[in-house]
Structure 1
Amino acid sequence: MHPPSESSARQHRRTGTRWVACGLALLATLAGGALALQTWAVQPRREVEQNGLRLRLERAVWLHEPTDHGDTATLPALPGAPAPGQRRLTVELTVFNPRSVPGDFTAGELLLTDTQTGTEWRASVGGAAAFTVRPSELLSVTVGFDVPLTSSALRLEWARGTERTTLLSTRRPRSPGEGPPGWPRRVEELPPGNAAAGSALFHGRLACTACHGDPAVPGGRRIGPALANFSRVGATRVSGMSAAQYAYESLLNPGAVIAPECAGPGPCGQLSTMPLYGETLSPQEMADLISYLVNLRTGE
């Protein structure tokens, strides 16, 4: 048998190199796919079916404290109210049984989880409720979670059997005197903002137009509240609060105040799906984005 020629050896080496490259590319694709699936798995899902029941998150609201926005009155403790230092997240859900046999549901399946410490809270109001859901029956359920001071992002999860799904990401609003770690209480304490840099963030990396539309095109398709003329409209959201401060608090705590146009069955619904930008923006980027928002004018 004759030894392989030099050209034949080169051809074998090239073929082997191509197979190695293809193998590496396949591994990278599989790894990327696994990462994408993992990321998708932790994204909030407003409606989900688990172990025979379908649950839909209709509304989630942090109960308002009149002292949140500068009022000096001290309210008396009311029966059933959260303990001092706690804030209550009220959650409204519907549970539907699509099967032909009854299914049991308990509000104890709902958990609020601190993403940093792993601490879990079960509902302190309505959490003991248990139901038998008949075939094709739809039930409305309201529960409340009383949460102590924490700066972490929180996940509302539905744990049923071996399945567990995230329904909502939120953050506990600050009470009077509580400043978020790493962030000043007042927008004036941020660095001077640059509206042009904020515009680049809004239309570029943050892709805010995907939900709020283009402020320069009033009436455009969107799923979040409109932002045109924000300096005027934003100043009307909370009595005594400037548009800049309102933008700042909304970026840190998206669900703290629901825009009036989102309080009904409109396109933006009643749940804020805006990310927690206090976790991803630097103080300068926060200032730049707010500067852009408060300088918006229809037609720009």
Structure 2
Amino acid sequence: MNGVVCVLAVLVSLSSGLWVLRARGAQPRREVEQGGLRLRLDQATWLHEPMDHGDAVRLPTGQGAPGVGQRHLAVALTLFNVAQAPADFTAQELVLTAENGQEWFPVEQEEARLSVRPAQLLPLPLGFNIPASAGWLRLEWVRGTERAVLLSTRPPPGGTSQVEGQERWPQSAEGLPPGSPRAGAVLFHERFACVACHGSPEFQGEVHAAPSLHGFAKAGAARVAGMSAAQYAYESLLFPGAFIAPGCAGNVPCQEPSLMPVYGDALSAQEMADLISYLLGQRERP
């Protein structure tokens, strides 16, 4: 009898251990390694349809922007090859899965495979358009037979943009606190290194890859009819893909979808105000 009890105890222990392993496997992990690649989730931001300003002014719906009744989950990931040989990756390996099994893939429909060299590190900005009623979702990385959960989240019910774990952003830039141009300059040139792509807004012709921000107070106010430069900057920082600037470095068309990171989850309201204040305060110089 004692032997039977021992066997039953062992079986219960094993089944409990398997349950714990399954539970751990279902828990979100911000950094996962699968098939020779390491994927880290750096940021996740929920954004609603492009901010509505009434019939007179509406931010144009760009490629990849969510439609009415949808929410947009913008994620920033880092991909790193830890293997000794090149490894392939596609954006379609990332999927948002609902509790009922429904799945959504990134709006960046890139079928071509990325070949990641050994020790190569690549930033990977992706976005998902999800019905507002979707409920709880899991962001999963499916690679071959391996599957890992990176994030558990749900679309915000409505209104303004929402960062995971933070309060929603105000609808208008006017709802931000007063900004400091000096603090904004530090953010632009140092902390976020915006200067690396946009060049210095203080001087003309320094743009490197992204649209020039020289004379932004005037140029930003002319991008969307009826929208102030402050509001244009605000919405561009929250949802870079909603409106694509007409020209980038060398007056070539800017890439779609936008490669600009989503700063809604990286900036506080005060920092957002500081950055916008710095951009608006630059005088045009030759």
Q: Under a length normalisation based on structure 1, what TM-score does the superposition of the two structures give? A: 0.49
**Alignment match, 1:68:** 52
Q: Under a length normalisation based on structure 2, what TM-score does the superposition of the two structures give? A: 0.51
Distance across 1 between alignment mates of 2:94 and 2:192:
30
1:251 aligns with 2:237: yes
Closer/same/farther in 2, CA of residues 87 and 290 from structure 1, 3 Å limit: same
1:179 aligns with 2:177: no
Distance across 1 between alignment mates of 2:174 and 2:188:
21
**SS of equivalent residue, structure 1 residue 147:** strand
Distance across 1 between alignment mates of 2:67 and 2:220:
32
Deviation at 1:250, TM superposition (A): 0.9
Aligned residue pair count = 191
**SS of equivalent residue, structure 1 residue 68:** coil
**Alignment match, 1:121:** 103
- Please list the CA deviations of residues 138-163 of structure 1 after superposition, one character each: whole Å capped at 9, or x if unmatched: xxxxxx9651239xxx9999856358
Whether the 8 Å contact between 2:245 and 2:254 is mirrored in structure 1 is no
**Alignment match, 1:41:** 39
**SS of equivalent residue, structure 1 residue 224:** coil
Greater RCO, 1 or 2 (C-alpha within 8 Å, sep 6+): 2
Whether the 8 Å contact between 2:204 and 2:214 is mirrored in structure 1 is yes
Distance across 2 between alignment mates of 1:272 and 1:124:
14
Closer/same/farther in 2, CA of residues 84 and 273 from structure 1, 3 Å limit: closer
**Alignment match, 1:32:** none
The code of the aligned residue for 1:256 comes to A
The code of the aligned residue for 1:271 comes to P
**SS of equivalent residue, structure 1 residue 279:** coil
1:200 aligns with 2:181: no
**Alignment match, 2:69:** 85
Closer/same/farther in 2, CA of residues 217 and 187 from structure 1, 3 Å limit: same
What is the root-mean-square deviation in Å for CA atoms of aligned residues?
4.9
The code of the aligned residue for 2:178 comes to P
Which is higher, the Rg of structure 1 or of structure 2?
1
Identity %: 51
More helix per residue: 1
Whether the 8 Å contact between 2:95 and 2:106 is mirrored in structure 1 is no
**Alignment match, 1:274:** 260
**Alignment match, 2:198:** 212
Deviation at 1:203, TM superposition (A): 0.9
Deviation at 1:280, TM superposition (A): 1.4
Whether the 8 Å contact between 1:110 and 1:156 is mirrored in structure 2 is no
Worse overlay, 201-210 or 253-262: 253-262
**SS of equivalent residue, structure 1 residue 113:** strand
Deviation at 1:226, TM superposition (A): 0.5
Deviation at 1:286, TM superposition (A): 0.8
Distance across 2 between alignment mates of 1:230 and 1:265:
16
Distance across 1 between alignment mates of 2:219 and 2:202:
15
